[in-house]
Amino acid sequence: MSIETTPAERGKPRPVRAAAGEPVEVSFTVNGTPATLRVPARLTLADALRDHLGLTGTHLGCEHGVCGMCTVLVDGAAARACLMFAVQLDGAEIVTVEGLGAQDDKHPLQEAFSRHHALQCGFCTPGFLLSSYDLLANKPEVTKEELPQELSGVLCRCTGYRNIIDAVAEVAEDHPEGVPGPRNCGVRALVGRSGGSANAREEASEEVTAHAGPTEVVLPDGEPTIRVDVTSELSASLPDVWAVLNDVHMVAKCLPGAELTEELGDEHYRGRAKVSLGPIRLSFAGLAHVIERNAAEHRMVVLAQGADAGAGQTQAHIRLTASPSGEGTRLRAEAEVYLSGRIAQFGRALAGDVSRRMFEQFTDGVQHAATSGEAPEISGGAGAGALRLVAGATGARLAAALRKLAARLRRPRG
């Protein structure tokens, strides 16, 4: 097949011939985050967003350009993601519904859809949001009478159009100069998944993160989902504990399932973490930035963010402080943790339980490393290498909550 970057106006003609299944590298920006993928030439933008970047807010209905479910913004204009090949979009700026607004900072269109009950199942909602964004950005003077015709490119199968029209009309009235821009675009971790096996998911994830450029850890504004403040007493001496904390590779090894994959310089690190929560297996890819390493006060401050393709994102501001305690060491971890996407359904109590259990396992690792000088051994067997968090310490409440959450995370595409 013949691939040519569209549109030619983008000024980067890139004539290439490639077989349909031949991998081709393409770089674009999605919701403010640069991404480079190596994908088959025949892969649609919709599948690249969903399966390789974990952005499942872009829905797929007809896959023939009819229903509008897959509408995204490409270089500021609404486009059907099911009708474009990802490799056509080299250099493009893409905005998906995830970039339009955030849970705690919704776009006016999202607020209006919510206020007017402009959705039932929500399947058409991303398409309607981005289609109406495009309309109001380019034709703010649109009248309410014109809206049914103007929005006829997106089909809703289950709710009344009247509420959708009311919502869009209200935003048009509130913003006569044009609708405000997308609110949730910024540099963050993007990770992939594929529709196949767990292994395939991990491979897709590695492919994307390996090609992603250096990025900054960005913490959301507003209140964290949970705050963690946990203290453990270690028998190891303070100098030995600090020697472990001061070695970022050893710190990663003290958390089962975590792995540093790349040093980006200037105290930035890329890595992965596998977490096994009973029936739920999460595989996070992300970044850590050590923003303070204070040897005099034995304190280390880290910003971290990670994303699991199916489950969502987590960001954290973590402070680790070691202090003398008798012959041993008191190790305190304080963290503000932000969860978004499906893992936000953990709720505060469950997320608190999980965070505390993670810290316990981490301090066990630090104790081992500080006393032996060796990284802790990761036990074998099923799920080896993953941080496992249900058995024993967590009880029936957590097990039941995780079963429910696992069922939700297994929901089909949509």
- Outline where 297-346 has alpha helix (H): none
Closer residue to ligand FES (CB): 39 or 156: 156
68 belongs to the binding site for ligand FES (CB under 6 A) = yes
Burial 45-61 (b: 16+ CB within 10 A, else e): bbbbbbbbbbbbbbbbb
Closer residue to ligand FES (CB): 162 or 249: 162
**Token pair listed for 279:** 């029936």
| Residue of the chain from 43, 100, 124, 370 that contacts ligand FES (CB under 6 A) | 124
Segment contacting ligand FES (CB under 6 A): 119-127, 222-230, 322-330, 390-398? 119-127
117 belongs to the binding site for ligand FES (CB under 6 A) = no
| Residue of the chain from 54, 57, 61, 341 that contacts ligand FES (CB under 6 A) | 61
156 belongs to the binding site for ligand FES (CB under 6 A) = yes
Residues in contact with ligand FES, counted by CB under 6 A, come to a total of: 22
48 belongs to the binding site for ligand FES (CB under 6 A) = no
Mind giving me the DSSP string for 74-108?
A: ETTEEEEGGGSBGGGGTT-EEE-HHHH-BTTB--H
Torsion of Cα atoms, 339 then 342 then 343 then 349, to 10°: 90
Smallest gap, in angstroms, from Cβ of residue 56 to ligand FES? 13
70 belongs to the binding site for ligand FES (CB under 6 A) = yes
Segment contacting ligand FES (CB under 6 A): 56-64, 130-138, 248-256, 394-402? 56-64
119 belongs to the binding site for ligand FES (CB under 6 A) = yes
**Token pair listed for 97:** 């519904």
**Token pair listed for 90:** 């080299």
- Asked if residues 317 and 221 have their Cβ atoms less than 8 Å apart, the reply is no
Q: Residue 300's beta-bridge partner residues? A: 293, 320
86 belongs to the binding site for ligand FES (CB under 6 A) = no
Closer residue to ligand FES (CB): 118 or 250: 118
Give the DSSP letter of residue 145.
G
122 belongs to the binding site for ligand FES (CB under 6 A) = yes
- Asked if residues 383 and 281 have their Cβ atoms less than 8 Å apart, the reply is yes
**Token pair listed for 355:** 């965070």
Smallest gap, in angstroms, from Cβ of residue 397 to ligand FES? 34
160 belongs to the binding site for ligand FES (CB under 6 A) = no
CB atoms closer than 10 angstroms to residue 347? 14
Residues within the interface to ligand FES (CB under 6 A): 60-63, 65-70, 80, 82, 119-124, 156-159
